[in-house]
Each structure stands twice: as C-alpha cells, then as structure tokens.
Amino acid sequence: MNMDINHIANLARLELTEAEKEKYQKQLGSILNYVNKLSQAKTDGIETSDGGTRDLENIWADDISNKMFSNKEQELIKQAPAVEKGQVKVKSVF
Amino acid sequence: MIKKLHEQLIKKQKSAVEITQEYLERAKKSDLNAFITLTEQQALAQAKLIDEKISAGEPISELAGIPCSIKDIILVKDIRATGGSKILDNYISSYDATLVAKLKEQGVVIIGKNNCDEFAMGSSNETSAYGSVKNPHNTELVPGGSSGGSAASVAENTSVFSIGTDTGGSIRQPSALCGVVGLKPTYGAVSRSGLMAMASSLDQAGVIGQSIEDVKIVFDIISGKDNLDATSITEEQENRETNKQIDFKKLKIGVPKEYFAYDFDPEIKSAVEDTINQAEKLGAKIVQVSLPHTEYALAVYYIIMPSEVSSNMARYDGIRYGMSEQSAKNLSDIYKKTRGQYFGDEVKRRILLGTYALSAGYYDAYYKKAQQVRTLIRQDFEQVFDKVDLLITPTTPHVAWKIGEKKDDPLSMYLEDIFTVPVNIAGLPGLSIPVGKTKSNLPIGAQLIGKWNDEELLFAVANHLTT
C-alpha cells in the first residue's frame, strides 16, 4: 500500500510521533491487505447501499426551532475550553 | 429479575431506596472496573421518588425503581460522559439521549455509566482510557467489548440491565463472553439521538439483561420512532405484533453453512449445535442455508466503519467541549495536538484507515466497493429469509481470552467479530443468548438473527432455548 502516512495524518488532523507513524504504517498495511479481498467480489451493476434504513426518503422539517436549548446557550458555551465575553474563543488561523 | 424486583416493590417487601442501596454497595465493592462513574446521589433521589409514589398508593410502571446502568457513550443529562476516552474526560452531558429520557419516564434508577472501549472501538474493553474491565467469570479474562462494562455489571448483578451499543458486535459479543442476554435491535428501532456516533449507518443502542424477558421489557420501552433521529423506523415498528405466540412445528430455522465452516472453538460449536437440536426436538424444521458473501463481511465492515468513524470523530477538536491542547499556537495545531494527545491508539488507527479509504483516488476502490458488497450481503439475507424465519449461529469464534493477549494484534482482535458483523451490515436484529459453558466454566453464546423488524420472533424462540 502506498500510504503516505504524513498526508493521511494531516487530513485527519492528527499529530503523530515518529514511532506512531511507523507503527500505523505497518499495521494499516496488513489491515488493508486483508480488506483487499473485496476486489475479488463481483459487483458489476450492483447498487451501493446508502445506509442502514430501508426506503428512507428525504423528509423536510418545518423551519421552526425545537427550542431544545432555548436560554441555555451560555450553559453550552461554558463547556468550551476557551471562552470570552460569552463567546467561544479560538486561536488564529495563521 | 425485573418482574421479581417489581413484585418486591409493590408488595412493599423492599423499598426502592433499599434495592438501589444494595446495588450501589455491590457496585462499589466490585473490582471488575465495570463503571467509569457511579451516580449515587441521583440514583437515590430517583429511588426516593418511586418510594413516595408507592407510599401514596400510586401505581408504578414495571421498570420503576429498577437499578440499571448506561454505557458511557450514551448521554445522561448533567452526568459525566467520557465515551471511554481521555478527550472527553471533563465532559458533562447537556441533554438526555432519547432512550434515556424514555427510561426515566418509566422511573428507572440509573446507578452509573459503564466502562467501554474508547468510542466503542474494540472487542475486549481494553482500549478504554479508564482501564480494562474484567470478566466476572474469571477476572484474568476479558469481558469482551466494546460494551464490556455493561455486560460485566449485568453478569455480576451490580446492574439489573444495561443499555449498550452495537456497531459490529459490541453488545452481542460481550454478552456471549459474560453469559448474559444481549440484543442488537433492527437498525433504526432505537433512536441514536444522544449516542456518541461511531459509524452512523451501523450503530444501534440495545439491551443487555439477565433474561430474555428482561431484555424484551426494556426494548419495548426504548424502541420507537424519534424525530431527533431521521434514521429511526416508522409506524411499522410501532405497529409490530408484540408477544408473538409461536408454533415450533411451523418454524423454519436456517443454519448458514459459511458460519459453521469457519475454524472456531469446538466447544462453542458443540453448544450451538445442541441448541439447534433442541429447537428441532421442539418441532422446528432445520434448514441448511447459504449466505455466499459472508467471507467479505468483515472486509466490508473494516472499510465502511472506519470511514464513517473518521467523519464522526472530527467533532472532537478541542474547540467547543472536551479536553484541549491550549498550548498550541494556531488553529490547525489545536486540532492536531488535541487529537494526537487525547485520542487512544485504536481510535487513531481507525481514523487513519477511514481517512485513507475516503481520500481522493481511493474512494472508488474502497468505500464505494464496500457499499456495493454491502448490498450483496443484504441480498444474501433477503433471499435466505424467503425460505426460513430466523437463523441460528454462534455469537463468537472464541470464549473469553486473557487480558493483554490480543492487544498488539489488531487483526486478530477484529476477527472476534466475524459472526456478528454481517448482522449490522444488513441492518437486521441479532440476539445473543447463553447456551452453556466450556469445561473451564466460561460462557458460550448462540446468536439468533431475525428478519428486519422481527425482534418479537427472536424473543419468542429464545424463550424456549436458553439454559
């Protein structure tokens, strides 16, 4: 498997140690080896399964708030690691 | 156990507070590490309310005052929920999962949150950031996973029943290894609102209990359509025929040859075959059937599941809740350092696997292919269910193994789910029942697989087959 572990770790927003990168590269290699047996399955013309539910059709909900967390915004915001003036604070992008 | 305790309550032989205290004491003394959090205060308060109702001569529901526990991946309002992970070490649930709200309506007593594999990823409860759980039948052995704490607490009766989750076997497998009853419902039968999502097209919350009767009582309460879960099934589920009476002489039970051809523990094989023979003696017709794509099921699972995991784990980013590596200098580093530091090994492995499978250039070969083979696996079951009413298989290829034995061999661990995974892929109900023990006194489970939405038949049949 030509897995570029650095690229994948970056996409996954995971900082890995060098030891971890080596370990995962190896382990994922053998797991991918196992799942590659799927290439033997004949799937020409077979539809993909979208998910778990039978005959699920798209439904529309009315654009009304269910008020589950009305007046509890601050309670939720307080859960954030960094809060200022009742707002979630984040580091700068650059 | 539920009916027995209910009887004690209404006959005033014991109070709800007394019963709750007994369960809490046992839970505190237990060395299985089956709980991450014990909710003593809230439990006693819940029990007190039930006692007040009883004193006032008010009727109480069947589940009122019954001590139960909830896997730590399911939210109970104002109670800590870690998901078995360090990244949520400090997280307090801001709402009840729908199934929890339903149980609370019945007046259950929640005594604590069960230990589990981190974010439900594991088959031995060894990936938990809060320590391994021990099997009550032999404390050197694993209880199974990921609902290992749930199965262990029910088996040692520090909890009458537990709500677990099952994505690839995480209710059924630990239930088998701990000698209790475990139900993974039809996909959509129980709302996923308030579950920490692992793989959204496979996850189902379900019941682990001490008897089939107990599991059914709880399932009947927690199941049902929920507007907060767009994948929950609809009126059909609510209109299903309950308390089915079955005539074994009209029953056709399928035995899928691919499952029995696999190399697994001969003591398990023997016990499951005895169960099948028992069904035959009761009058059922045993039919050899084939599910030809069974050999691909684990591969399908280990592409679809990590792919969905990689998406669901993105929310743990150190921004809105949970632990956060605030020493990071910029936004990207917050994500990378927080997740790198606070996610465990198995979680990272599966996120990486899923990210790879979904990445540009690989999507068609992996995820799309897996979803096509998923269709084939579903069709296998549909065709078989034209000929038979349910299937009987072993639940697991092995009984409980030593803690630490498979920890460094991910693939060997994944193979423990070989009999349970196809059921999640097809979205069908699966019930694991205890059917005996090995010579070394370890529990063996048999799995009943039903038609879509046919839990009732599984309960009815299982009632005649458990030891």
Tokens of A50: 């979208």
Of B324, B335, B370, Cβ closest to residue A38:
B370
* CA distance readout (Å), B107 to A84, B162, B404: 40, 15, 39
B312 and chain A in contact, CB less than 8 A:
no
Residue A53 token pair = 């539910």
Residue A38 to chain B, least CA–CA distance (Å): 6
Q: Report d(CA B23, CA B20) in Å as an integer.
A: 5
Q: CB–CB of B134/B33 below 8 Å?
A: yes
Write out pLDDT tens, residues B89-129: 999 999 999 999 999 999 999 999 999 999 999 999 999 99
Q: B451 catalytic, yes or no?
A: no
* B408 in contact with chain A, both atoms CB, cutoff 8 A: no
CB neighbourhood size of B176 (10 A): 32
Query: What 3-state class would DSSP assign to B394?
Result: strand
Residue B108 near residue B46 (C-beta atoms within 8 A) = yes
Q: Which of A31, A37, A90 sits opposite B319 (nearest CB)?
A: A90
B348 CB near a chain A CB, below 8 Å? yes
Are B330 and A8 an interchain contact pair (Cβ–Cβ within 8 Å)?
A: no
- The span from the CA of B185 to the CA of B202, in Å, is 11
Neighbours of A9 (CB within 10 A): 22
Contact B12, B19 (CB under 8 A): no
Longest dimension (CA), chain B: 71
Mean pLDDT of B130-154: 98
Regarding an ipTM greater than 0.85, the answer is yes
> Residues 6 or more apart from B78 whose CB is under 8 A from it?
B92, B93
Is there a contact between B435 and B429 (Cβ–Cβ < 8 Å)?
A: no
Mean pLDDT lowest among A49-53, B21-25, B280-284? A49-53
Q: Which residues of B touch A27 (CB under 8 A)?
A: 349, 410
- pLDDT tens sequence across B346-362: 999 999 999 999 998 89
B234 contacts chain A (CB < 8 A): no
The whole-number average pLDDT for the span B127-152 is: 98
Regarding beta strands B181-184 and B430-437, do their DSSP bridges make them parallel or antiparallel, or are they unpaired?
A: antiparallel
Q: Tell which of B307, B317, B356 to mutate to test the A interface (max A CBs under 10 Å).
A: B356
Residue B297 to residue B295: CA distance in whole angstroms: 6
Residues B133, B172 contacting (CB under 8 angstroms): no
Judging contacts by C-beta atoms under 8 Å, the chain A residues touching residue B302 are: 31, 34-35
What are the two backbone dihedrals, phi and then psi, of residue B11, each rounded to the nearest 5 degrees?
A: -85, 0
Report the alpha-carbon angle B218-B223-B224, nearest 5.
150
**Is B71 considered catalytic here?**
yes
Give the pLDDT band (50/70/90) at residue B238: low
Least confident segment among A1-15, B113-127, B296-310, B446-460? A1-15
Best mutation target, A2, A17, A31, A70, to test chain B (most B CBs within 10 A): A31
H/E element holding A19?
helix A18-35
Q: Structure tokens of B122?
A: 């594991």
Q: Which residues pair with B38 in a beta bridge?
A: B112
Question: Two tokens at B121?
Answer: 């990823």
Tell me the C-alpha distance between B75 and B195, whole Å.
6
- The number of beta carbons lying within 10 Å of the beta carbon of residue B143 is 35
Side-by-side strand order, sheet with B35-38:
B35-38, B109-114, B67-71, B161-166, B204-209, B181-184, B430-437, B443-450, B390-394, B252-256, B285-289
Place of tokens 């025929």: B241
* Residues paired with residue B205 on neighbouring β-strands, in sequence order: B165
Q: Which of B71, B102, B113, B184 is catalytic?
A: B71
Q: How close B39 gets to chain A, by Cα (Å)?
A: 21
Best mutation site among B372, B412, B413, B428 for testing chain A: the one with the most A CBs within 10 Å? B372
Partner residue opposite B201 with nearest CB, options A51, A54, A92: A51
Interface touch A48/B368, C-beta < 8 Å: yes
CB pairs under 8 A between A and B: 168
Instruction: Find the catalytic residue in B93, B123, B146, B310.
Output: B146
Nearest CA-CA partner of B275 in B381, B386, B432, B152: B432
DSSP for B418-431 reads TTTHHHHHHT--EE
* Known active-site residue B285: no
For the residues of B179-208, what is the DSSP string, one character each?
T-EEEEPPTTSB--TTB--SSTTT-EEEEE
At B359-371, the pLDDT tens digits run 988 989 999 999 9
User: pLDDT by residue for chain A (94 residues), tens digit each?
Assistant: 568 999 999 999 999 999 999 999 999 999 999 999 999 999 999 999 977 776 777 778 789 887 777 788 888 999 999 999 999 999 999 7
Contacts of B352 in chain A (CB under 8 A): 5, 8-9, 12, 14, 24, 28
For B409, phi and psi rounded to 5 degrees? -130, 80
Place of tokens 């399911």: B74
For range B444-450, the mean pLDDT: 98
Residue B237, pLDDT above cutoff 60: yes
Contact A48 B92 (CB under 8 A): no
Which pLDDT belongs to residue A52? 73
What tens digit of pLDDT does each residue of B244-255 get?
A: 778 999 999 999
Q: Residue A80 and residue B201: Cβ atoms within 8 Å? A: no
